[in-house]
Structure 1
Amino acid sequence: MHYLQCISPIDNSVYLERALAGEAEIRVALDRAASAQRAWRLTPIAERIAVVHRAVECFCDRKKRLGEELCWMMGRPIRYSGGEIDGFAERACTLADIAETALTDIPLPFKPGFTRFIRRDPLGISLVIAPWNYPYLTAVNAVVPSLLAGNAVILKHSAQTPLCAERMVEAFREAGLPYGVFQYLHLDHPCTQRLACAGEIQHIAFTGSVDGGAAIERSVAGRFVQLGLELGGKDPAYVRADADLQLAVESIVDGAYFNSGQSCCGIERAYVHEQLFDEFVARAVAIIRQYRLGHPQDPQTTLGPLVCAAAADRVRVQIDEAVAEGAQAHLQTGDFPMDQRGTQYMAPQLLTGVRHKMRVMREESFGPVLGVQKVHDDGEALELMNNSRYGLSAALFSRDEEAALMIADHLETGTIFLNRCDYLDPELAWSGVKLSGRGCTLSRIGFEQLTRPKSFHFKTGKEEGQFAVR
């Protein structure tokens, strides 16, 4: 028997162990899911929606406990951990509320003698592979709409956050979801790959690294399954000369350093108009200095550790390289006593004098560092924002909505924010371009990734009336 260990970034202790599933457990889960899905797909959409709402209630009843578990598993300060439970509830309920409209049959204009409509059929079994950095918020994007669409779901969560899979399944079972419709498996990488290749799997949602997404894509090549990939980003922000400077500073700092910068859609590079540059940097540094790096269980802590020492050291190397190439570091590690090289406790940093030849401006950092570059006009900002292999989200700060819209229309990214950042509106499509991935979650459009269109073309001989569509 093989086991996974969740090593807490708080103190490097073993927080929990779980037995890894093998071939036998995978086969049982697939057979159970296939059997359960045949009945679940016939369950009226109103009943599926009601199950989701009940599951959210069960889930939120455990908010304090879930927040504490998150804190220990992935190191988020306890003062913020409960916010992810609230976000889970918001997204799940919003998706449930739009599901009926999104999944209803599509009637066509009446044609004498014919009944014609398009039905959205569920795909079958969804495999959701979720990451540790926002373990509930990333999983809910695929799990809930897939269930609402009539699919069965097998959830494989990160080895860093295995309890998240267990807690989600528990909530749905308590809400009355039929046994087998939603299951979890704790798997190593080879078994995850084999599960993805199973013939019963018809949809895969993966959130993780570019290399991980490429491996999944290679594994299922030729199977023609529906594949959704969210693979990270190097998201930019641009502060125009007409921006509300304080709003821009507060928003960008929060977008860059919340969750210790471990967010796919976090701000990792900022471009500031030359008229505002010096003041932007001064205000940003002043706010960052107020962060308290410390033990996540301390309610006063606002900046927790990175997920592991190796992750922190990768970010430190990017910073060291940039400074060696001429960048200026504006924060001293001495301002954050918990910072210690070789550990996961890392002080935040803001860099100026950066250029795109530096890795800190090109490669995903996934840590508490922000490069800030001076620009002369919108054209230069647009060119630099698009100068990336990634394209998940981008943020603009301006009082001129029309000018912002013109810039946004030319940005190569999945989501563009104005005067805010780092937020997923569940009624908007969430997607990426370039190496940030493929496919779409959330919104009505997201349901199209979880169903296949089935056309009904009946020659009835009737000169009026049609079959009722659902």
Structure 2
Amino acid sequence: MAIQQTLSPVDGSVYVEREQADAEQIERTLALATDAQKRWRDVSVEQRCRLASAMVDAFISRRDQHVEELCWQMGRPIAQAGGEIGGFEERARAMIEMAPGALSPLRLGDKPGFTRYIRREPLGVSLIVAPWNFPYMTAVNAVIPALLAGNAVILKHSAQTPLCAERMVEAAREAGIEEGVFQFLHMSHADAEQVMGDPRIAHVSFTGSVAGGRTVEQATAGRFIATALELGGKDAAYVRGDVDLDSAVDGVMDGAFFNSGQSCCGIERIYVERAIFDDFVARAVAWLKQLKLGNPTDPVTTLGPVVKPAAADFVRGQVEAAVAAGARAWIDPGEYPLSRPGSAYLAPQLLTDVDHSMAVMQEESFGPVVAVMPVDSDDEAIALMNDSAFGLTGAIFTRDLEAGEALAARLDVGTAFVNRCDYLDPELAWTGVKLSGRGCSLSRLGFDSLTRPKSFHLKHP
């Protein structure tokens, strides 16, 4: 039986070791889910909500345990990891509150002699493939609404964060949710692809790379099942000349460097009106220099390691290539003893004198680096923001809310922000365009992709 190991970015040690599921275990899990879903779909929405709420209660009661495990599995600073548990609860409670209305039958207008309505039926068994960077908040986006809609769920979490799947399923058991309704599988990529192709799987939710999204499409090709793909981004912000600079710098830089830049909707490109460009850069560099790179188990650390040395070296390569092409790097990595080639610890970096011919302006970095360009007009800023293969989120910073809203409407993104960034509101649809994926999660609209409409047309005798 294959073994998977989780190497902690904190010190490179083996933090978790698990056996991957074999063919027999996978078959047992699929059969159990299929059988349990037949009973779960007949449970009322109100009872599903009560059980899901009890699951959330059970989960957050072990907050300290989850925080410590998060820190060791993926390197989130211990001082910040609690926010993930809070985000899990916020999103779960919001979906639970929305579910009764969102899942209620759609009643049509009176037509003499007929009763007509559309019911939202569950799809069946949902396979949810979750990433390591926000392991609880990304998983809960799909798990809770899928369960509320009457589907059974099999959760495959990243091999970097396997305990997250286990802890969520443990909370469901404690809440009284039947075993087969919510299960996890630790399995290889090849086995996950086979499961996606299994006729008992009716829905696949995947958060990860573009390459991973293409694999999902290939694995489910010809089956005509629902898929939800969130594939990351190269998100941009535009800072207009009328802003309060201190507020704008704090907002956009936090959006770029929280979680060491490892956020699908983190800011990786910043465009600044030329009149305030130099002032913005000076304040942004000062903001960066107050970050404390260090061991994430230390409460004073505000910038932890990235997930693995290879990820850090990829970002180093992007920075080096940009500098070789004429970019200016404002932070001296030598001032950060922990940051060295082959280490998961990476100094933060801000680049100027960049252009769109550079990989750092086109390819997802997923690390603590941001590139800043001056622009001379709103039109130039919007054109550059849209000059990307991705389209997850975009942000406009301005005192003029009306102008900001008008500019946001021109962005080719799934979520447009004004005066904030890097945030997911569970009452808004979470979606992307272009290579950022397809489908919709969260909000009332998110339930539509987890159910199918069934029309009832009753003629009165």
What is the TM-score with the length of structure 2 in the denominator?
0.99
* Secondary structure, counterpart of 1:357 in structure 2: coil
User: 2-side partners of 1:49 and 1:247: how far apart?
Assistant: 39
Tell me, in whole angstroms, the C-alpha distance in 2 between the residues paired with 1:405 and 1:63: 38
Question: Counterpart in 2 of 1:468?
Answer: none
Aligned twin of 2:198:
198
Preserved contact between residue 58 and residue 174 of structure 1 (Cα < 8 Å): yes
Which residue of structure 2 lines up, in the alignment, with residue 443 of structure 1?
443
> 1:361: which partner in 2?
361
Task: Give the match's secondary structure for 2:275.
Answer: coil
The question of whether the paired residues in 2 share the 8 Å contact of 1:229 and 1:437 is answered with: yes
Aligned to 2:273: 273
> 1:341: Cα distance to partner?
1.8
Instruction: For residues 77-130 of structure 1, give each alpha carbon's deviation from its aligned partner in whole angstroms, at most 9, with x where no partner exists.
Output: 111111100100000000000000100000000101000000000000000000
Alpha-carbon offset, residue 234 of structure 1: 0.1
* Aligned-pair CA distance for 1:334: 2.6
Q: Distance in 2 between matches of 1:406 and 1:77?
A: 37
Per the TM alignment, residue 210 of structure 1 is displaced from its structure 2 partner at its CA by 0.2
Structure 1 SS opposite 2:180: coil
How far is the alpha carbon of 1:243 from its aligned partner? Answer: 1.6
Distance 1:331 1:219 in 2: 44
Instruction: Please tell me whether the aligned partners of residues 244 and 397 of structure 1 are also in contact (alpha carbons under 8 angstroms).
Output: no
Match of 1:234 in 2: 234
> Which amino acid is 2:405 matched to?
L
Q: Is 2:140 the partner of 1:140? A: yes
Q: Distance in 1 between matches of 2:245 and 2:72?
A: 36
Q: C-alpha distance in 1, partners of 2:294/2:441?
A: 35
Q: Distance in 2 between matches of 1:111 and 1:152?
A: 36
Residue 395 (structure 1) aligns with: 395
Provide the residue aligned with 1:464 in structure 2: none
Within a 5 Å distance, the mapping from 1:66-85 to structure 2 comes to 66-85=66-85
Q: Secondary structure at the match of 2:211?
A: helix
Cα distance in 2 for residues equivalent to 1:19 and 1:131:
19
Partner AA of 1:297 in structure 2: T
Q: C-alpha separation between the residues in 1 aligned to 2:19 and 2:342?
A: 30
How many residues end up aligned between the 2 structures? 461
For residues 379-407 of structure 1, what are the alpha-carbon distances to aligned partners after superposition, in whole Å with 9 as ceiling and x for unaligned? 00000000000000001101111111211
SS state at 1:396 partner: strand
Matched, 1:51 2:51: yes
Amino acid at match of 1:191: D
For 1:139 and 1:336, the matched residues in 2 are separated by 34
Q: Counterpart in 1 of 2:127? A: 127
Deviations 1:8-44 (A, max 9, x none): 0111111011110011111101110011111110101
Q: Distance in 1 between matches of 2:265 and 2:437?
A: 12
Q: Secondary structure at the match of 1:191?
A: helix
Amino acid at match of 1:296: P
Which blocks of at least 5 consecutive residues in structure 1 are unaligned?
462-470
What residue in structure 1 maps to residue 254 of structure 2?
254
Q: Which residue of 2 aligns with 1:176?
A: 176
The reply to whether residue 18 of structure 1 matches residue 18 of structure 2 is yes
Equivalent AA in structure 1 for residue 63 of structure 2:
K
Contact 1:292–1:336 (8 Å) recurs in 2: no
C-alpha RMSD of matched pairs (Å): 0.7
**How far apart, CA to CA, are the structure 2 residues paired with 1:16 and 1:406?**
49
Aligned to 1:28: 28
- 1:466 — aligned with what? none
Alignment partners' CA distance in 2, 1:16 and 1:369: 29
CA–CA distance in structure 1, aligned partners of residues 169 and 342 of structure 2: 37
Distance in 1 (alpha carbons) for counterparts of 2:175 and 2:451 = 24
Code of the residue aligned with 1:47 in structure 2: it is: Q
Whether the aligned pair in 2 keeps the contact of 1:9 and 1:73 (CA below 8 Å) is yes
Instruction: Give TM-score, length-normalised by structure 1.
Output: 0.97
Determine whether 1:322 maps to 2:322. Answer: yes
Alignment of 1:416 with 2:416, yes or no, is: yes
Quick one: which amino acid aligns to residue 320 of structure 2?
D
Partner Cα separation in structure 1 for residue 129 and residue 368 of structure 2: 25
SS of residue matched to 1:367: coil
Q: Distance in 2 between matches of 1:443 and 1:337?
A: 44
**1:64 partner letter:** D
SS in 2 for 1:216: helix
For 1:34 and 1:11, the matched residues in 2 are separated by 41
Q: Which amino acid aligns with 2:21?
A: A
- Name the aligned partner's letter for residue 174 of structure 2: E
Question: Could you tell me which residue of structure 1 aligns to residue 340 of structure 2?
Answer: 340
The alignment status of 1:98 with 2:84, answered yes or no, reads no
Paired-residue identity, %: 58
How far, CA to CA, are the matches of 1:241 and 1:16 in structure 2? 49
Q: Offset of 1:336 from its aligned partner?
A: 2.0
